[in-house]
Every structure is written in structure tokens, then in C-alpha cells.
Amino acid sequence: MSTDPESRPAPLTAPDDAEPAVTLHPQPDGPTLGVTSAPVIEVDGHLFKDLARTGKLLPYEDWRLPAAQRAADLASRLSLEAIAGLMLYSPHQPVPNPGAGPFAGTYGGRSYLEAAVPAWALTDQQRTMLTADHVRHILAFTLQDAGTAARWNNGMQALAESQPLGVPVGISTDPRNGAAEASGAEFATSAADVSRWPEGLGMAALFDPERVRQYAAIISREYRALGITTALGPQIDIATDPRWMRLQDTWGPHSGLVTDYTRAYCDGMQTTPGGGEGAAFGLTATRADADLPPAAACIADPGWGSASVATMVKHWPGGGTGEGGRDAHYGFGKFAVYPGGNEAEHLRAFTEAAFHLDGPTGTAGAVMPYYTISWHYRTPDGQVVNGGAQTPRANAYQRTIVQGMLRERYGFDGVVCTDWGITADPDPEIDHFGQRCYGVEDLDVADRHRLAIDNGIDQFGGNSQAAPIIEAYRRLVERDGETAARARFEASAARLLRVFFRAGLFENPYLDPAASTAVVGCDAFTAAARAAQRDSLVLLKNQRAAVGSDETLDDASVLPLGPGVRRVWVPTRHVDAQPGFMRGGEPARDIDPFDAAACPWARADNPQEADAAVVFIESPLSDPYSTADREAGGNGYLPLTLQYRPYTATSARARSLAAGDFRETGDRAYRGKTNRAANETDLDAVLAARELLGTRPVIVVVRMHNPAVLAELEPYADAIVVDFGVQQQAVWELLAGVFEPSGLLPITLPASMDAVETHCEDLPFDYPAYTDAVGHAYAFGYGLSWSGVIEDERTRRYRNR
């Protein structure tokens, strides 16, 4: 096989001169090599990239060797500064960068508009990260489109290839295939032009692990077409507290369902079709019948290859048990509690699934511990962490939880990456979106890094400064000696590099923009996603209500809406001002939920002209902390409410289970205090529709982030549909009878807030379900078809305990 330039394929050049020229070197018995600057050498009749520019084949350059061997060799060659760069995660990267907001960037010192550069051009900050700071893990945020993402990837990879040793770039992402609009519980990650699927709870409503496997396999191909090789997910927390703001992104509280989903998702995401035979393989049927480029399998690591996306399962050892339902993004929510003694069940999806996959990749590529201080946490061997005289510390700073449990007891040898922003100094205000160094505020930044590294952490989410990591290394040298410190850092570098080798980045990290555009959001993928959206909708009620009575009428079903319906009334919504995810505050807003393009009927100007009312609402929105309450002499803590009318927590704990923060004094209890939903007027809209429509159908569509208390509105609705994150077209198709509902509740809707308040945050299914007028309990696994309550293989397999 010749490396003569005359015999090489022509470069893949694009019209814009700013794009790097990529030369591809296909070979029949090995991977295709993609290069922009590195020489290519021939050894034993095979082609290899000479990334180190030595003229010789080094072990890390040899694609015939296992990833672990290659990674260990390269780690031993890296400078301390280069290893520190590997251990960093970039800030969120918008492409193109608008020059404003929390992740602003410049192009030649100018804004994007002033610089007049292509959308895919690298920012000044990105060039500095790659060359001066040695950062190789880049977190993609907004991506304009697939072609732009591919060209941006190529620009970064070309710059990385030109650097010493030629370490490529690994791009990661938060979930970006959700069909719903951003709720404020996470940054709004642009989906570019990807296929759109139900949100986490919506996928759970399918009760079908094989659909999840298909979903993961499809989005892995879209991710790779965007240059993404690591998914910051799935979120496999057992969501036992119904008030938790991140519950909507989980697969619910049933540990059996979550465990099966975890296994299916990680297998689908990480597995390149064809196993490890070393040939190029096309897509299997589970990846949809689309005309896509073949996926090349890794020679020495079965299951891995050019279609693989490493999964980062989160959050170890479970993030769904915050006291009072509060979330640990904020200092007022930093404590996870286990009043039911149910720590073991929260580990199940990790230990039985993520670490023991059915597919050839074997185990999830990475794990992310949560921010929380796991208060009085009991380990599987009975040891109590963060109890007694111990200093309470967040999970990444607790050696027992990371090194003792994750690394040693369960044998996890993949990457352990912290959640975002845990090492910098804390914000002086507890109600800010500040740093989260819970329990180690007395340490300096370098010692926080040292402690985490001691505990088995490999990587620091949201950190872009290498200096504290380098200083932590120096302190380890002082304590343990150069040999031990270097070995510890090389161990992390090797784990991080294994992901790159397994994904084929060292052989060909480059993309063809035209091929990426053809893959992302292709017809087959979009059709599969839309089918999942339809199947995720849950019909709770389909029984005509008797106005002004607790009885129901005999003429039964309302849905699907019949041919007599020509016009529907869709009221507008109002949401009061409330704190946002970043705690900056969201103003009061009026919302018109009607999507005219999706609706098959005309919109009535007023309810008198309507044949039916369709009332779009969402589950109650409330906040658990009030600076105003604190300034008025209270402790700042309020109950999270899942009902629409004001709720007073008369049944709450008299004293909180966990407390302690330098920014507060006293207890965190909120018994007797009142909170209200910012969208209380959603209930008013339902009641008004009932009064104004008389005997005409009133259909309520609930966009459900959390299990809502429906006792206030169910008697006034003829039909209730739960939407866990879909495009509105799917809802209208259900109402029109285009398809039959088949979704099942992946959560239990509580009978009352008192039931929620008295339950144990770590226990699933320990509060009673709401039961409607005809005796249907809105419990886990419940759902209606046109013919009645669904009983099938899914409900038999996954039963509410």
C-alpha cells in the first residue's frame, strides 16, 4: 500500500478557504485515516498516522492495539500541563458565538457580526483552550445546524492535530433531542436539526426498553454526525421524590424500569454495529432504514467504533432524594436524605445495568457524581457517611462514596467526572447560582482538586483553568513523591484517552458536512421520533363529567373528537414572575399555547362559538426558597407545591433532617408556611372552560414536569391527556383519533400534598395515588386506550409495588 502523494485520494475541500483540507486514506483491512497535517507512514503493509512526527510507529499510533494499551502509552508521553488540560471540561460553546451572555466569545478580538467570519470559525477562546491550555474536552451548546457543526469540528480537530502528539478533541453534549421547549430546569441546549423525541418521562411512558435502545442508537448516529463522542447522560437517578425539579429528565421512580432502560440506552448509544471484526458495517434495522455512511468498528475493542458515543451515567450514588424535593444546584438544596433507609435501590441502575451491559462495550464509559451531600448515607457494608462527627462533604469529596464504593466495591474503571462547578469558592448568597464546593469551603481551590483526585475523580466539569490542577499535582508530589503523583495523573489521563481511542478519533475525527446534513434529522429518524412522541401521550380520563355534580354521565367517552367538532377554544395562559434556573428571575408572562399549523380545527374566537375547549396547562411551578421570607425574619425555606391553589405545609417535619451552611443559621424546616404555584391561573382556565362550555367537551392537556395533584381540576374535565414533552402536533392527532393512546404513567400522581409531605424522599410509591370519580387510580402504570384501562405485557412486567 503506497503512501506516494500521487496515489492518495484527493482532499475533501469545501468552498470556503477557512476550512481545513482533509485527506482520507482508506484501507481494505483497517480504518480509514483522516489527516490535515500529520504524516502518514506504512508499517507491515498498513497505514498509520504519525501524530508524534517521529517517523516511527509508536504504540499509541497503532490502531491494531487495544485502546487501554494505546492510552497508557500516550499518557506516559504527555506533559503535566497536557494531562491537566485533559482533566478540564470547557465552558458551554455556542456555534457560532453571539458575543454576549455567560459564554461570550470573540473572533480576532471582534464579535461574530463584526468579524464577518463563517459560522463554524473557531473563537479566540477556543484556539487558546486547545493550544495554550491543552483542553481536549469541549462541551457543545447551541449548534446552528449539522453542516456548521461538522465544519466547526473539523476546524478544532485540525488545530489539535497540529499540536505536539496530535491529541484530538472530544466533543460532548447535554441532551439535545427533546421535543419540548426548554423548561428552565437546564440550559436550553439547541437541538440543531436533530430528530425530536419525548423528554425523559415521556420515554419512560412507553414502558419499552427496546424503543429506548432504538432511540439511543439513532441519536448516537446524529451525535457522531455533529462531532459529538460523549453524552452527558443518561440521567438514571431513581426519581423517588415527586417534587424534584430534575424529575422530568429521569425515567421515573420504578427501579426495575430504570435499570432496564439504562442497559438498553447505554448499549444502543455505545455500540457500533458489527462488533469488533474490524470491517466497515452499515446500520442495522434498530438504527432505522436510512441511507447513511457505514460505521467502522474498532479493531481491538469489541463494540466500539465510529458510531459509538460514550455515556456518562449520572448521578452517583443517586440524585433524586433531596430533602423536601429541593435540588443541589443551589446551596439551599444541597442535602440528600434517606429517611426510608433505601440507599441500595438508588444504586441499582448503576450496579446492575450501567456497569454490566448486555452489549459488547460492557460498561458505561463514565460516571458523574451529584452535587449533593448524602446525609447520614449508609453504604452497602453498613458504614455511615456524613454522619456523627464527620465533616459533611459533597459526593465528589467523599472518599467512601467514590473510591470506596464506585472504584473498589463495584470495580468501575471508567472516567469519573464531577458535576459542573464544584471547586471554585462559593457565592456569599445562598440563593444564587454559585459554586458548589459543599463541605470543603475551608479548603483552597487547589486543595479541593487534590482531595477530589485523591478520591478517584478524573475530570472536573465546568473547569477551564489548569493552574489549580497543576498545583494539586505539586502538593501530591510533596506528600507522596514524584513517582506516585505522576502515576496517579497518568491513570486519569489513560481513562480519559481510552474514550477517544475507542471512538476512532485518533484515526479519523473529521466529518463530511454533506454527509452530516444527510444523517441528522433524516426522514427515518424523524419518523421514529414522532412515533415515540405519539406513543408517550397518556390518556388519564375519557369520561364526560356531569356539570355541577360528582356523578358522571352515561354517554361515556369524549375522545376522539367526532366529526361535529369544527372549532375549538384554546385559552391563553399566564405565569407569574418566578426565579429561573440561574436564579436571575423570570418576568411574568402571558403565553398563547395554540399552534395553528398543528391543529386540524379552526380556533374559536370565544368559547360561545366553540364545539369543544382544549385547555393547555402545565404542572404546578413553585420555588422552595425565598429571600424575602428570610429578610422578613424567616429562614427562607418554603414548601415545594404540586397543587395549583396556595398550599400550607401543616404536615411537614417540625425539624429538617439535614442542615448546616455558613450562609445560614438554624433549621431548614418550613412547617406551617405557605407557598403558591406561579401558574395558579392554569386551574382558573380549566374552571372557566367548564363554566363557559356547559355540556360541551372540556379537554385538559397537562405538560407534566412533576406529578401534579389533579384533585382540583379532574372533576371539571371530560378528558385529561398528559404530555411529558412532545410537539403539539402529536396532541392534536390524538384528540382527532389519528392514533390510539398507549402511554402509561411512569409516575404516580399523588392524592394530596399532605400525602407528598409525609412521604420519605428516598422511597418510591409510598404515597397514595389520586383516584377519580369512576374509580381509576392515577398510579404508576395506569393509562387508557379508546376501549378502557390498558392491561398488557408492559403492565404485567412493571408493576407498582
Element (H, E) at 415: strand 415-416
| Mean pLDDT computed over 506-534 | 97
pLDDT at 390: 85
- In terms of CATH architecture, what is 537-797? 3-Layer(aba) Sandwich (3.40)
Nearest to 437 by CA among 449, 458, 429: 449
Helix (H, G, I), strand (E, B) or coil at 346: helix
pLDDT beyond 80 at 359:
yes
In sequence order, what are the residues at sequence separation of 6 or more whose Cβ sits closer than 8 angstroms to the Cβ of residue 73? 58, 59, 60
Q: What's the pLDDT score for residue 2? A: 36
Q: How far apart are CA 703 and CA 201, in angstroms?
A: 11
Weakest-pLDDT range from 101-110, 539-548, 570-579, 665-674: 539-548
| Grid cell locating 373 | 451531600
pLDDT of residue 23 exceeding 50: yes
Span 692-706, pLDDT tens digits = 999 999 999 999 999
Which of the residue ranges 3-7, 75-79, 250-254 would you say has the lowest mean pLDDT? 3-7
What pLDDT digit, counting tens, does each position of 37-69 carry? 999 999 999 999 999 999 999 999 999 999 999
Contact 587, 632 (CB under 8 A): no
Kindly state the average pLDDT of the residues 226-241.
98
- 490-524 burial by CB neighbour count: b if 16+ within 10 A, else e? bbbbbbbbbbbbbbbbbbbbbbbbebbbbbbbbeb
Residue pair 677/620 in contact (Cβ under 8 Å)? The answer is yes
Segment 657-665 mean pLDDT: 94
Averaged over 425-453, what is the pLDDT? Answer: 96
**Per-residue pLDDT for 177 more than 60?**
yes
**What are 388-414's pLDDT values in tens digits?**
888 999 999 999 999 999 999 999 999
- Distance, CA of 641 to CA of 545 (rounded, Å): 27
Question: Residue 684: which residues within 8 A CB-CB, separation 6 or more?
Answer: none
Omega of the bond leading into 624 within 30 degrees of 0 (cis): no
User: What does the pLDDT look like over 633-646, one tens digit per residue?
Assistant: 999 999 999 999 99
Residue 82 has pLDDT above 60, yes or no: yes
Residues forming beta bridges with residue 23, ordered by sequence position: 35
pLDDT value at residue 188: 53
Provide the pairing of β-strand 567-569 with 602-603.
Answer: parallel
* Range among 286-300, 540-554, 601-615 with highest mean pLDDT value: 601-615
Mean pLDDT of the chain: 93
pTM higher than 0.85: yes
Q: How far apart are the first and last CA of the chain?
A: 63
Predicted pLDDT of residue 555: 53
Secondary structure element (H or E) that encloses residue 40, with its range:
strand 40-43
Looking at 272-362, which runs of residues are DSSP E strands?
280-281, 295-296, 310-316, 335-336
Phi, psi of 162 (to 5 degrees): -75, -10
Q: How does pLDDT run across 251-293, given as a tens digit for each residue?
A: 999 999 999 999 999 999 999 987 433 322 223 333 444 445 6
Q: Cα(396)–Cα(473) distance, rounded to whole angstroms? A: 18
DSSP string, 267-283: HHHHPPTTTTSSSEE--
Q: Is the pLDDT of residue 526 over 80?
A: yes
H-type alpha helices, 172-329: 200-204, 209-225, 255-270
Residue that has been written with the C-alpha cell 452497602 in this structure: 380
Q: What is the mean pLDDT of residues 114-119?
A: 95
Q: Specify the DSSP element, H or E, that contains 450.
A: helix 445-454
- Beta-strand runs (E) in 592-695: 602-603, 612-618, 647-648, 674-675
The predicted structure's pLDDT at residue 481 = 98
**Amino acid sitting at position 320:** G
The alpha helices in 537-663, defined as continuous H runs, are 627-631
Of 158, 163, 153, 140, the residue nearest 81 (C-alpha): 163
Residue 292, pLDDT score: 56
C-alpha cell, 492: 486519569
pLDDT at 181: 60
Spatial distance between the Cα atoms of 49 and 42, rounded to a whole number of angstroms = 9
